[in-house]
Amino acid sequence: MSAEPDTEAGDVATPSGDAASENGPPIPDPESVDDEGYVIGSGRSGIVRRIGHDDFDPVGTLVLIAIYMVIVGAMWIFMYFVEFLGGDLTVIG
């Protein structure tokens, strides 16, 4: 298992109430923390920097969905023209 439990690594941690503020993670009590000190839902405890709205360009998303679009386009053309039109007994009337 990973050597360093990350709950106290939240260097951005500031004592936060339970309001929907988005700064540091709550300090979970000992017995709720499992073997590697990970509390479900505490993805933000690994935050190392804050990215605001204006300086975030989801370039990775663009790459992923471009790949998805290419795959869908190619598969559609293959399914329609090779698998379907290339098939037998196509209904024509």
- Closest separation between CB of residue 40 and other proteins, Å? 5
Is 15 a residue that touches other proteins (CB under 8 A)?
A: no
Site of tokens 């559609």: 76
User: Rg for the chain (alpha carbons), in Å?
Assistant: 24
Based on the shown chain and the rule CB under 8 A, indicate whether residue 14 belongs to the binding site for other proteins: no
Burial bucket for residue 28 (CB in 10 Å: 0-12, 13-18, 19+): middle
Does residue number 87 form part of the binding site for other proteins (CB under 8 A)? yes
By CB under 8 A, tell whether 53 contacts other proteins.
yes
Q: How far is the CB of 43 from other proteins (least distance, A)?
A: 4
How many CB atoms are closer than 10 A to CB 7? 19
Decide: is 13 part of the binding site for other proteins (CB under 8 A).
Answer: no
- Cβ–Cβ < 8 Å for 2, 36: yes
**Site size toward other proteins, by CB under 8 A:** 71
Measured from the CB atom, the residue of 14 and 48 that comes closer to other proteins is: 48
